[in-house]
Amino acid sequence: MKLYELTFSQIRAGLVEGDFSSRELSESVLDRIERVEPAVSAFVTVRDRGEILAEAAATDARRAAGRCRGALCGVPVAVKDNISTRGLATTCGSRMLEGYVPPYDATAVSRLRDAGAIIVGKTNMDEFAMGSSNENSAFRSTRNPWDAGRVPGGSSGGSAAAVAAGEVPLALGSDTGGSVRQPAGFCGVVGAKPTYGRVSRYGLVAFASSLDQIGTMSRDVEGAAALLEAIAGEDPRDSTTAAEPVPSFVGDAGIDLTGVAVGVPDEYFSDGLDPSVAEKVRDAVEIIRSLGAKVQTVSIPNLRFGIAAYYLVADAEASANLARYDGVKYGHRSDHAEDLDGLYRMSRSEGFGAEVKRRIMLGTYALSAGYYDQYYLKAQKVRTLLARDFEKAFESVDVLLAPTSPTTAFALGERVHDPVSMYLSDVYTVPVNLAGLPALSVPCGLSASGLPVGLQVVVDKFREPVMFRVARAYERAAGAFPAPPGL
């Protein structure tokens, strides 16, 4: 087996036992990127090869001296291109920030560096994290490693594709309405979104501030857990981080789930769910039942309002957050304007893509005089009702199991001109963000057409250890998930 094919748990053991070095691992990853990146287009920026290998060699020296004990020490990691990296371009997949090089690291990135991880590069994304297919990037469309004619999901599609294609073992993404879990499901990798406030948003370019969270991706559950454990924790630079201790998310590798109460919400198995997806998810539920979990049906009555509420709240916050990109203070500045009004108009017209403009206009309308109560305020009330539905469900169960997405990865171009159809691909993920809950997607088989299906595991706030325990037990019981064929 090639080094780039190893799971995180295998990499961790191999580095500790001296089976290979961080430099050898990094060389394997970089060679893989050179070989498959023309077909996948997962990265916007890859760091200089010499810099990466020198950093890996220094890590090996620290390990030899006993100063490199962390789980991520010497492990290559990719970072989504909306997370600030000192000295490395951060574009948010937008012409508005093309060429921008941050003078500072996001807290999540600085914690990765402190843990000894090696930043390989920045992954492609839907512009400003607004999209479900990665087709909204201003630079290129990332392709699904399972089928080059299909999308990898979005907005963290570059991170998911990079992990699935073996270009990196671990990656950071961001999840505002499913942007870690949905692409993880489409690409057959593990994607975890933490509780809102578990991970600092300092250095994460804002889309919708009450929803955004940095999440983790890996080919196995242990990798997603270890990566999240490294970046989690309170941060004085982000007042929304929670003063909660960070427990071990990795835990043991046992598969006994005796005593765990599992709920399967009826509403997740309604019209619009692909029968092939439903079959694989129900098969996964039965495997989890066989491990000792007690399974019951539960209800999330207001789930059907999640998409409508989400796109009002998220777009309203996007309208406010993106107002700063005006050609004066931040971002692209038009060379063709003749007055101040023209500078604002032309800078934003040239810098933003069609989807970002659509959401800014929708959000601005929802916040406008005469419509605030009718749209934005009502959406916030629905958000509260939805959160209460989850609270009630967690009174009787520890975990909720559901599909990550109603379908498998769809074809490139299939939904570009149908925004409603595109938005509905997130129908099962956005409710979790509205409620501020942690959730992950773990691969649970291949559909009849040979594409990955994701099982979504949802738990109550700050119960990530339970989430990872259930997902890891399922993963071990189901067996290793295959790599994409044909790359």
- Regarding whether 97 and 125 lie in a shared domain, the answer is yes
Split into its structural domains, the chain has a count of 3
Tell me the pLDDT band of 111, cut-offs 50, 70 and 90: very high
- Annotation marks residue 156 as catalytic: no
Spatial strand order of the sheet with 118-123 comes to: 43-46, 118-123, 76-80, 170-174, 214-218, 190-193, 439-446, 452-459, 399-403, 261-265, 294-298
- Regarding whether 387 and 375 lie in a shared domain, the answer is no
- Regarding whether 353 and 253 lie in a shared domain, the answer is no
Q: Express each pLDDT in 256-297 by its tens digit.
A: 999 999 999 999 998 899 999 999 999 999 999 999 999 999
- Regarding whether 252 and 112 lie in a shared domain, the answer is yes
223 φ, ψ to 5°? -65, -45
Distance from C-alpha of 315 to C-alpha of 358, rounded to nearest angstrom: 9
Distance from C-alpha of 225 to C-alpha of 232, rounded to nearest angstrom: 10
pLDDT at position 129 over 90? yes
Does residue 74 lie within any of the structural domains? Answer: yes
pLDDT at position 146 over 80? yes
Distance from C-alpha of 236 to C-alpha of 487, rounded to nearest angstrom: 44
Angle at 385 between CA 191 and CA 315, to 5 degrees: 60
Q: Express each pLDDT in 422-436 by its tens digit.
A: 999 999 999 999 999
- Regarding whether 428 and 373 lie in a shared domain, the answer is no
Average pLDDT of the residues of the chain: 96
Parent domain of 89: 3-257+404-478
pLDDT at position 160 over 90? yes
**Residues sharing a CB contact under 8 Å with residue 99, sequence separation 6 or more, in sequence order:** 89, 91
* Active-site annotation holder among 9, 156, 174, 179: 179
Q: Express each pLDDT in 319-360 by its tens digit.
A: 999 999 999 988 999 998 889 999 999 999 999 999 999 999
Domain end: 329, 349, 382, which one? 382
- Regarding whether 134 and 228 lie in a shared domain, the answer is yes
- Regarding whether 70 and 116 lie in a shared domain, the answer is yes
Per-residue b or e along 411-436, where b marks 16 or more CB atoms closer than 10 Å to that residue's CB: ebebbbeebeebbbbbbbbbbbbbbb
Q: Express each pLDDT in 232-258 by its tens digit.
A: 999 999 999 999 999 999 987 788 999
Does residue 486 lie within any of the structural domains? Answer: no
Predicted structure pTM score: 0.97
- Regarding whether 225 and 282 lie in a shared domain, the answer is no
Torsion of CA 130, 131, 136, 139, to 10 degrees: 70
* Active-site annotation holder among 21, 28, 41, 80: 80
- Regarding whether 137 and 49 lie in a shared domain, the answer is yes
* Active-site annotation holder among 84, 94, 141, 155: 155
Does residue 487 lie within any of the structural domains? Answer: no
- Regarding whether 248 and 349 lie in a shared domain, the answer is no
Domain end: 325, 348, 382, which one? 382
Distance from C-alpha of 78 to C-alpha of 137, rounded to nearest angstrom: 17
Distance from C-alpha of 3 to C-alpha of 22, rounded to nearest angstrom: 10
